[in-house]
Structures are given as structure tokens and as C-alpha cells.
Structure 1
């Protein structure tokens, strides 16, 4: 069975909680994050080992 793949819009506190929750399951994974600023997205992405995007369109 394939995993559910989540992309996160925004790199704030709620996104951090969500990413931690996804890591606790075997049926889903976080695959990308997008934020208004690339710096916030990259910081979040580094902690979660996922790609970062600055523009929601690209995501």
C-alpha cells in the first residue's frame, strides 16, 4: 500500500506539530513545505529532511 503524501503550506508552529504527527505513522509522509519566505521554508525543510519552496504556485 502506498503512503499518503502531504505537502505543508506554511512553516509555523502548527506545521511543526503536523510534521511530527505524520512521522508517527507508517501510512503517511511529509514530502515538501512552502512558505512566504524561502528562509522559513528552508529552516523547516532542513529539520524535516524535505524540499522547500518559497512560492505556493511552484509547490
Structure 2
């Protein structure tokens, strides 16, 4: 879409390259930091320990 003047062109550029509105918000979840997968660090560590225990069980170790 072509702008008719420089002011409109600047407004269009500002709108197109502005950060998303939710970028300034704090993540939900009680202030817990979430990773890229959307789970907290504690949840990821618990999942990893469960996986290690299950892996050990399948390999015959307890």
C-alpha cells in the first residue's frame, strides 16, 4: 500500500515495525519464568527425572 506523503509513510512504518502489544506484558503463571516450550524450569526438571527413572526401569536398573 503506497503512502501519499512522508508523514503517512512514517506512520505506516511505525505501525508495521512496532513490537507486538503483548511484548510489554509480564508472562502469566505466578511470576514463574517459562522456557521456550512453555513450561517452568521446575516442571522441566521434574519431567527429566521422571524420564530418567523410566529409562532406568526399561534397562533393568532400579
TM-score range, shorter chain: under 0.3
Higher helix fraction (1 or 2): 2
User: Higher strand proportion, which one?
Assistant: 1
TM-score, normalization: structure 1?
0.26
- Of structures 1 and 2, the one with the larger relative CO (CA 8 A, separation 6+) is 1
